[in-house]
Structure formats: structure tokens, C-alpha cells
Structure 1
């Protein structure tokens, strides 16, 4: 086999392996990048070795399928899911090769054409994986998502460039191979750069959510510590309180007795945590926001009936309740006679959240979706709530009148 064929095979197979790894990352998680790279290397050696040494169509097909399955095995999940994803991946490859052949069949089959067709097929595989990744991550809407279309435009222009290069007379097979490899590397580098930027942005969002969650926990712990100090002080002085109560009772001073007992009850009530459902995440959130509502004299009606462990991650609860109560607070303070009503109930593996608040009646909608009046950078609250609800097979419902804004969320928990 000529050196040219070996170089072409190595480049094409490396690109296919890289894109295949990205394909499985869309659907499955892997705890180790080293295992991913090792599986990719084994798949590359298997497929490339069979093609260069044996060069039999049936053997090449089996080695390609085996290589895809080897890659799938390092990811988490059921074997059945991995096999189905492997078959789908190979089907996509075969379908794209067939499409490229049918579309370009009118051309004279030359060595230059075969090079271009091979790279175009890989580019189409890359485009399909980008589309799958975009569809899968659409729920993670962010300002970066629109940049996917730049990658699509670049990849389509790359296909057109390759055909233009092929039509250019005077270029040797090695010249076309060099141009095609450069175009492919450029596309893959842009993909890696953008993918890393998106992952970084998502990490930053999750980090901010964790900071907010820790803020709630910190506020709850400070409240608990302060209340514990009050309880200890009351216990320490309890004998003095009892002696004083007895003295007032014996003296028949009922007015002074009632006044003293009321003051003592006030201290006891003041040392109690407002919300003590047993779920530390919700307790922290509601106790924190209850303080904010009181500071602005917002009338509240909050009912929470949940078990200690609901089967929902603390971060997801934080995202939903934090955004809902933030929005309710910011809307309620804009009007007189502000009022917020919250119902959180867990029943039969279903979590129901209802938040209603007064507001000034100003609502802006875009494509049927509520848009924040504070600007685009603040418009992700309801989207994040909806994303979490869909994660648990639920949904979000938004209603509003001239004076009342209502958000209802339902989630289904499978333990």
C-alpha cells in the first residue's frame, strides 16, 4: 500500500474516532478521560490496522463496529443502551458515506475525488454530531448557544471549499490531502474551543448556584446558633423565672404575672426557627427569604409540607425555589399591599410548588415566553426552573392577571 493511502487512512480514522468520542459524550458520562483516550486509541489501532493490513470490506465493517463498541464500553450506562448507541453511530456513518457517494457520483472517480469525498463524509459526520449535541443541550440555554450556528456555517463553507479545491486544476493528490486535512483540523479546533467555552460557562452557572446554596445554609446555621444561645440562656435562668412567677402568683399580682409570662413567651417564640420542615435545604431557603419579606413588610402565606428526603438534589431545589422566591420578592416590592403566597407539597412521589405574588402588571413576552424586564442577562430564571422541572418529568405553568403573577411547578420523583 502506498504511503499516500496510509496517511489518508490515518487522518480520516483519527477524525472519525474523535467525533465518535464526542458522540458518546452527548448521551453518556465517563468518569475518566484517560479511559476515553485509551478506548479511542484501541479503536483507532483496530480499524486502521484492519484497513491497512487486511483491506477486506467485510473485515473493515466488522472492525469499525467493534471499534465503536470498544469506545462505548468505557462510558456509564446499561449495555443495551451502549449497543443501541453504537449501532446508531455506525448507521449514521454508513448513511453519510452513501449520501456523499450519491451526491457526487456524477464526478469522475479520480484519486483527488476520493480524497475530497472521504473528507466531506467526515465533515458531514461532524455536522450531524454538532446537531445532536445542540439538540441535547438546548435545555441548557445560554448566551453561548447561538454560536453553534457559526460552527455550522464554517463547516458548510468547508465542504464547499473542498469541492472548489477539487475542481481546481493543477493540484496534486498530496496538495488536496493537505488542504483537506487543514480544513478538517480547523473545524475540529473550533468545535473543541466552543465546547470548552460552553462547559466552562455551565460550570460557572453551577458554581454560582452552589454559592447561593451555601449562602442559604450559612444563614440557616447562624440562625440556629443564635436560637441555641437564646434557648440555653432561658434554660439557665429558668429557676429564676419560676421563682418570680411563684412570687407574683402568691402575691396575687395577676397583671404583673401576665406581663412577665408574655415577655418570657416572647423570648421563647423569638428563639424558634420559623421553618423547620426537616428538609435542611428548604428550611434554609425559606428562613432566609422570610427575613427579606419581613424587612420589606411583605405579607406572606407560606405552607410547606415535605419529607426530610424528597429524592431531589439540593442544587435543583435551590435553583427552583431561589428563582421563584427571588422573582416573587422583586415583583412584590414594586406595589403597595404586597403579598406572597407559597405552597410546597409532596404527595405520592409528586412535588407541587405554587408561588403567587402581587406585581405591577407589566409583562413582556417574546415568542410566547416571558422575558425579564431587567434585561437579557436576567432572563434565565424561568428557563432554569423549566429545565429542572423537565429533568424530573414535570412542567412549569405561568399565569398572570393585572395584579397577580402565579407560577406552578410539578415534578415527579422516582426513588
Structure 2
């Protein structure tokens, strides 16, 4: 029984150390591989404890093995890994000291308190680690809600208090009020666990959406760069057009008709643009609109485009790219299911106010969720259906408004942004 308790308490502390290392330094391998590495440390430490009957030597070998595990599993500097091991050692000593002081106030420390002091030291150790992680996040300017902060501290504090009360109850202190306090703490800890689960669930959802937004931003930025390079190449080609005429004339004079035909094919390939829909002078916005509408035109859709915006606006160009790109992607998906579709894009900018409306044909009825949000028809629910959510999240930066209407198989999105 004692051996089982010792093994469980050491495993609990090792899991805390594993989580601590993951927060402080960067992993080299995936999470499962890293976890297996830490389990290997746990097994090796158990073997050493059984074979070596020397407490100080066991402790030294444990921290040396920990440093070796950190060196293999994490890609930070060796000095940082040494500092992490030192921190873990100091936190362990500090936890033991805090528990010793706490138990001294309650009376003489007896041998039968071993289980209690061991459990309390592990809980205090986890509390110190949590405080360190929170301070690290605060240093990295991460916002932590007060509710979550209280929950983080309430769990170990409530557990420690409950352990102490339970010890007194087991040793003959049969006080009704003491038992009531114990059960109240038990209820509070469970309630706090529920709050933390709910908070973490919301965090996972927001984290997934932010990850998709970051990928979209990166994708659109690279896409705009590529399109911008294409337009720069076209400008250079137009600039060198006189030299091209000289080459063509020489080929014609020499009768090199096959070479001339090949030359014309190359020129047509470089100059092949169906239509320039946007000519505002804002390269990123022009690029995304021209690229997307050209793709939509390939679906056989009739396009009406009316854009009147200045070359420079107070809005972040990448925000505009995210909004326009997502809306036109949704249009493209809808038009794949209809024949002879129609698209109308209107953008206006007046006195720091931007008005955008995009309408398109679509087939069938769009379903909505209980919250009134449109449900994607794609198979991959996690990736698809995020277009309008991305637009809404970007609009929040400008206190923008979004209005969605559908009538006679025409889906329309209107938005207003202002600075």
C-alpha cells in the first residue's frame, strides 16, 4: 500500500514537471513521443530507487536523468535546460519547507502524517508551478481572466485544506462543523473543476478559429504577393514591347514563321487576362478581387463589378483581403452548384466609411443553426463554414456591421465599416 501511494504521488509530480517543461521550453518531438520520454524517466527513477539505497545519490541521479531527458526531448539552449532543472529542484525544496511549516503550526509532526505531508508537498509543488506559468504568461502579455485565475488557485488550496481536515477527522476530531466544511470544500472543488472545463472548452474553440484565421491571413498574403509579381511582370513586358516588335520583324524578314508563332504563343500566355475588374491602384485589394473574380468567371458566371475606393485607406489592407477573399470564396463555392450564375460586387468608400455588398446566385436552401448561423454544406465542418465567421471577427476590429439576406435564390452579404 505504501509503495503504491509513493508511486502514484511521484507520478503526479512527474506529470506536473512534464507540463511545466512544455510551457517553459519548446518541444523537439510530438506530444506522445515527449510523454513517453518522461515515462521512461519515471521507470528509470523507480529502478534506481530499488537498486540504490542512498537518498542523496538517488536525488542526484534523478535530476541528472531529468537533464538528459530534457536535452533529448527539447530544443532550447542547454543553459535554459539546466536552469529549468534548478527551478524544479528549488520548487520541490520550497514545497517541502512550506508543508513542514504548515504542519508545525498544527502540532508535533508524527510518523502517521507521512501520507498527508507527502500529498500536501506534491499539491504545493503543483501550486508553485502554476504560479510560475501564470507569471510567465503575464510577462508575455497574455490576458488571463480573474475567474480562471481564482480557479487555478482554488483547486490546490481546497485540496490541501480538505486533506488536513480529513486527517483530523480520521484521528478522532469528530466535529460536525469540521465535517460540514470538508463537504463544502469537496463541492466547491467540483464546481471549480466544471468552470475550468468550460473555460478550457471555450479556449480550444477560440484557439482553433484563431489558427484558421492565421492560416487564411498567411495564404491570402502570399497569394497577393504572387499576383502582384504577375502584374509587375506584365508592366515589364509592356515596357519592353518595342524590343519585342524588333525581334518579330527580324523573324518575319528571315521567314522564321514557326519561331514567330511560338513567340506569339508565349506572348499570349503572358498577356492572358480575361478582364481587369478592379483598377483602384491599391495593389493588394486589386489583386485579390481580380484573381477571385477571374476564377469565378471560369465557372461561367456573369459578373457585375463596381468598385470606387481610393488607393490609400485607413483600413488595414490585410483585413480587407481577409474579408473580400472569404466572401468571394463563398461565392465561388455556391456558383459551382448552379448554371449561368450571377455575381455582383459593389464597394464604396466615403469619409472613412466603407460599404461592401456582394450578391450571388445559389441552389437550394441554406440551413441555419440554433444560433442563426449558416451551416456549411461541406463535409469538413471544422475547416469549411468558417468564411463568414472570419469576416465577423475581422469586422469586430472596426465596430463593423454585417447583414445577410436571401431572396429568390440570391444570397447577399452587406457590411459597413468605419474608423
- Normalising to structure 2: TM-score of the pair? 0.51
The reply to whether residue 86 of structure 1 matches residue 60 of structure 2 is no
**8 Å Cα contact 1:39/1:71 also seen in 2:** yes
**8 Å Cα contact 1:51/1:60 also seen in 2:** yes
Give how far 1:213 is off. Answer: 2.6
Moved more, 227-236 or 117-126: 227-236
Structure 2 match to 1:263: none
2: distance between equivalents of 1:193 and 1:150? 12
**8 Å Cα contact 2:123/2:156 also seen in 1:** yes
Change beyond 3 A, Cα 1:227–1:47? closer
Structure 2 match to 1:205: 210
Give how far 1:203 is off. Answer: 4.6
Change beyond 3 A, Cα 1:231–1:160? same
1: distance between equivalents of 2:395 and 2:281? 33
Structure 2 match to 1:355: none
Deviations 1:302-321 (Å, cap 9, x if unpaired)?
9xxxxxxxxxxxxxxxxx97
Change beyond 3 A, Cα 1:53–1:23? same
**8 Å Cα contact 2:288/2:321 also seen in 1:** no
**8 Å Cα contact 1:13/1:48 also seen in 2:** no
Q: How does 1:57-136 map to 2 (within 5 A)?
A: 57-73=55-71, 74-105=73-104, 106-136=106-136
1: distance between equivalents of 2:24 and 2:231? 47
Give how far 1:232 is off. Answer: 6.8
Give how far 1:10 is off. Answer: 0.3
Give how far 1:137 is off. Answer: 2.6
1: distance between equivalents of 2:394 and 2:279? 41
Structure 2 match to 1:362: none
SS where residue 104 of structure 1 aligns?
A: helix
Deviations 1:179-209 (Å, cap 9, x if unpaired)?
9xx99x9899998997787466435313212
Change beyond 3 A, Cα 1:285–1:164? farther
**8 Å Cα contact 1:123/1:159 also seen in 2:** yes
SS where residue 67 of structure 2 aligns?
A: helix
Change beyond 3 A, Cα 1:273–1:158? same
Structure 2 match to 1:169: 170
Change beyond 3 A, Cα 1:142–1:202? farther
- Normalising to structure 1: TM-score of the pair? 0.51
Deviations 1:327-361 (Å, cap 9, x if unpaired)?
xxxxxx9983789xxxxxxxxxxxxxxxxxxxxxx
Deviations 1:7-66 (Å, cap 9, x if unpaired)?
121011101111111111122111323442233123212333344454432123213322
2: distance between equivalents of 1:214 and 1:42? 41
The reply to whether residue 295 of structure 1 matches residue 308 of structure 2 is yes
2: distance between equivalents of 1:188 and 1:82? 32
1: distance between equivalents of 2:45 and 2:65? 7
Change beyond 3 A, Cα 1:193–1:130? farther
Give how far 1:80 is off. Answer: 1.7
Query: Which ranges in structure 2 are unaligned for 5 or more consecutive residues?
Result: 173-182, 250-275, 290-306, 323-347, 355-391, 400-418
2: distance between equivalents of 1:376 and 1:301? 15
**8 Å Cα contact 1:17/1:44 also seen in 2:** yes
The reply to whether residue 152 of structure 1 matches residue 153 of structure 2 is yes
Greater relative contact order, per chain length (Cα 8 Å cut-off, separation 6+):
1
**8 Å Cα contact 1:9/1:48 also seen in 2:** no
Give how far 1:163 is off. Answer: 0.9
Give how far 1:103 is off. Answer: 1.5
Structure 2 match to 1:214: 219
Change beyond 3 A, Cα 1:379–1:26? farther
Structure 2 match to 1:9: 6
Change beyond 3 A, Cα 1:98–1:273? same
Aligned residues: 282
**8 Å Cα contact 1:44/1:67 also seen in 2:** no
Change beyond 3 A, Cα 1:155–1:69? same
SS where residue 30 of structure 1 aligns?
A: coil
Give how far 1:82 is off. Answer: 0.9
**8 Å Cα contact 2:309/2:349 also seen in 1:** no
SS where residue 137 of structure 1 aligns?
A: helix
Query: Which ranges in structure 1 are unaligned for 5 or more consecutive residues?
Result: 172-178, 244-268, 276-282, 303-319, 327-332, 340-373, 382-404, 406-415
State the Cα RMSD in Å: 5.5
SS where residue 210 of structure 1 aligns?
A: helix
Deviations 1:195-242 (Å, cap 9, x if unpaired)?
787466435313212212322333454565577678879988986xxx
